[in-house]
Amino acid sequence: MSTATAAEGVTVPFGARLRNWWGSLDRWQQWGVLIPLVALIYLLPVLNPPLLTTEPGTDFQITLFNAARIALIAIGLNIVVGQAGLLDLGYVGFFAVGAYTTAVLSSPDSFLTTQYPWLVCVPIAMFVTAVSGLVIGAPTLRLRGDYLAIVTLGFGEIVRLLADNLDPLRGQRGFADVPGPEVTRADGSAVFTSSDGTPWYWLTVTVIIIVLMLVGNLERSRVGRAWVAIREDEDAAEAMGVPTFRFKLWAFAMGAAVGGLSGSIYAGQVGYINSQGFDVITSILFLAAVVLGGSGNKVGVILGAFLIVYIPDRFQVIAQYRFLIFGIAIMVLMVFRPQGLLGARQRLLTYGRQAYQRLIGKGEQISSESALQKHGNGVAQ
């Protein structure tokens, strides 16, 4: 299905170029880039850069927070879709479970008589969501491809409809006054309020960094390999001794837990949730973040999430056209970058690099990738 490209005319994919460049840096150079970059990311809400800002239409800090929470979701969904290749159209269900668990545990509107602090709710919410991932996954994961997609879509809708229909979950009346972390400033005012996005953004970015590291560990392991194998050819994977069902369940549960975490953070930030806003469209937008950024590429999906939130918010000022712009932007982006903003191969190549290195008997080091990259570059020059 692909067309030929003459050798000379080939453009090196942007992602690959970026990667090459990154690979060509020394370890300390990499840190030298990474630290200011992370610092810049943290500083964004304070800098509120003139061209980038979404104001006056929308509060930039809150937009950033929303982008961050969607990024967290995209990272979770990327495990399921990008890594294991399980098309999940109902991922919003996990987000909802996380948010609702938090709300039920902490909101005064809840049928529970005790209200727990937010920090206690978060791990519980993650756990409950992971379990819900197992509950949904166990019966459905033997379905293949798009049958799984529509079933997950169905489950996502069922979660929303249960929230809508079941009395204790309060439908559109919702749960108000979901608290955030109880941190106060010197003057006694709360740090985490719903109208100030900055602390929430910082919190979420920190969570993202931690999750990225953990998920990255997974991807660079037997587990990640098994996921990709399942994505590529489930039967062959099974024949090679991969317990496909178990690993698919793990993918579902891990993905769900991350989604639940995001839901929990979200509930704390807005302080009010009801059964609206957990619909199919939202779910598909999550997926759009993943695909737009580059399914399978963690950094890519973060970028994708940012766009999904940012584009409509940026055009708040012409509200009537913003979703039109958004829709067209998606189409255009996909045509020009069909592999997503960043391609997906980054992780897998590290193995090749390591092994290749060792094979030709030079790099003895396996634990540190950057050492190998550095070395590899040495060969290239």
Partner 1 sequence: MNPQEPPTDEMRPQDPVTEQLGVVPPEGGLVAELERMSPEERAKHEAQVAAAAATDREITVGVGDTLLELRDLTMRFGGLVALDSVSFSIRRGEILGLIGPNGAGKTTCFNAMTGVYRPSSGDVLLEGQSLGKRKRFDITRAGIARTFQNIRLFGEMTALENVMVGTDARHRTSVPGAVLRLPRHYAEERAGTDKAMALLEFVGIADRAADKARNLPYGYQRRLEIARALATEPKLLCLDEPAAGFNPAEKDDLVALIRKIREDGYTVLVIEHDMRVVMGVTDRIVVLEFGRKIADGKPEAIREDPAVVAAYLGVPDGSA
Partner 2 sequence: MITHVTSVLAQDGLIDFNFELLVDRFWANTIDGLSYGSIYALVAIGYTLVYGVLKLINFAHSEIFVIGIFAAYFTFLGLGFAPGETADLGLAALIGSLLLAGVVAMVASGGAAVLLERVAYRPLRKRGAPRLVFLITAIGASFAIQQLFLIFLGGNAQPSIRLLRPTEAFEVFGARVTNIQIMTVVAAIVLMVIAETFVNRTRLGRGVRAVSQDPDTATLMGVNRERIFMLTFLLGGVLAGAAALFYLMTIPAAAIYNGGFLLGIKAFTAAVLGGIGNLRGALLGGLLLGVVENYGQSFFGGEWRDVIAFVLLIVVLMFRPTGILGESLERARA
Partner 3 sequence: ACGGGGGGGETGGAAPTQQRAEPTQAPFTPPADAQLPAGDGQGQCSGNPAIAYIGTIAGANAGLGIAIKQAVELAVEEHNEANPGCQVSYKEFDTGGSPQTALAPTVAAINDPSILGVVGLPFSGESEAVGPALTEAGLVGVTPSATRPDLSQKGWTHFFRGLGNDSVQGPAAARFITGTLGAQTVCVIRDDSAYGQGLATEVTNALGDAAACDEEIKTGQTEFSAAIGTIESANPDAIFFAGYYAEGAPFAQQLRDAGVEADLVVPDGVKDPIFVQNAGEASEGVYMTCPCLPGDVFPEFTEAYQARWNVEPQTYSAEAYDATTVLLRGLDQGISDRAGLLDHVRNYQGQGLTKMFAWNEQGELNETPVWSYVVKDGQIERLSPID
Q: Which does 63 bind (CB under 5 to 8 A by kind): partner 2, partner 1, partner 3, none?
A: partner 3
Contacts with partner 1 by CB under 8 A lie at 7, 12, 16, 19-20, 23-24, 214, 217-218, 221-226, 228-229, 231-233, 235-244, 250, 254, 345, 348-349, 351-361, 366-367, 373, 376-377, 379-380
Dig out the tokens for 25 from the structure: 């840096």
For 179, the 3-state DSSP assignment is coil
32 versus 327: smaller Cβ distance to partner 3 = 327
DSSP state of 193: -
- What span, in angstroms and rounded, lies between the C-alpha atoms of 150 and 291? 18
Give me the least distance between CB of 161 and partner 2, in Å please: 5
Vertex 81: Cα angle to 80 and 82 (nearest 5) = 105
Q: Which does 267 bind (CB under 5 to 8 A by kind): partner 2, partner 3, partner 1, none?
A: none
DSSP state of 107: -
Give me the least distance between CB of 13 and partner 3, in Å please: 34
Contacts with partner 2 by CB under 8 A lie at 1-3, 81, 87, 139-140, 142-144, 146-147, 149-151, 153-155, 157-158, 161-162, 164-168, 235, 239, 280, 284-285, 287-288, 291-292, 295, 320-321, 323-324, 326-331, 334-335, 338-340
28 versus 321: smaller Cβ distance to partner 3 = 321
Q: Which phi and psi angles does 147 have, rounded to 5°? A: -65, -40
Q: Which does 102 bind (CB under 5 to 8 A by kind): partner 2, partner 3, partner 1, none?
A: none
324 versus 379: smaller Cβ distance to partner 1 = 379
Q: Which does 330 bind (CB under 5 to 8 A by kind): partner 1, partner 2, partner 3, none?
A: partner 2
Q: Are 152 and 241 in contact (CB under 8 A)?
A: no
Give me the least distance between CB of 282 and partner 3, in Å please: 8
Give me the least distance between CB of 229 and partner 1, in Å please: 5
Dig out the tokens for 83 from the structure: 């890594």
- What span, in angstroms and rounded, lies between the C-alpha atoms of 226 and 256? 18
146 versus 233: smaller Cβ distance to partner 1 = 233
Give me the least distance between CB of 334 and partner 2, in Å please: 5
- What span, in angstroms and rounded, lies between the C-alpha atoms of 280 and 293? 20
Q: Are 62 and 198 in contact (CB under 8 A)?
A: no
193 versus 217: smaller Cβ distance to partner 3 = 193
Q: Treating both helix axes as pointing N-terminal to C-terminal, what angle do 280-293 and 60-78 enclose, rounded to 10 degrees?
A: 80
Dig out the tokens for 88 from the structure: 């999940």
Q: Are 86 and 225 in contact (CB under 8 A)?
A: no
167 versus 235: smaller Cβ distance to partner 1 = 235
138 versus 236: smaller Cβ distance to partner 1 = 236
Name the CA radius of gyration of the chain, rounded: 22
- What span, in angstroms and rounded, lies between the C-alpha atoms of 9 and 11? 6
142 versus 222: smaller Cβ distance to partner 2 = 142
Give me the least distance between CB of 243 and partner 2, in Å please: 18
DSSP state of 333: H
Paired strand residues for 184 = 190
Q: Which does 348 bind (CB under 5 to 8 A by kind): partner 1, partner 3, partner 2, none?
A: partner 1
Q: Treating both helix axes as pointing N-terminal to C-terminal, what angle do 197-219 and 60-78 enclose, rounded to 10 degrees?
A: 20
- What span, in angstroms and rounded, lies between the C-alpha atoms of 252 and 133? 6
Q: Which does 55 bind (CB under 5 to 8 A by kind): partner 1, partner 2, partner 3, none?
A: partner 3
Q: Are 363 and 378 in contact (CB under 8 A)?
A: no
Contacts with partner 3 by CB under 8 A lie at 54-63, 66, 164-165, 171-174, 176, 193-195, 197, 270-277, 313, 316, 319-323
Identify the residue whose tokens are 């997609």.
149
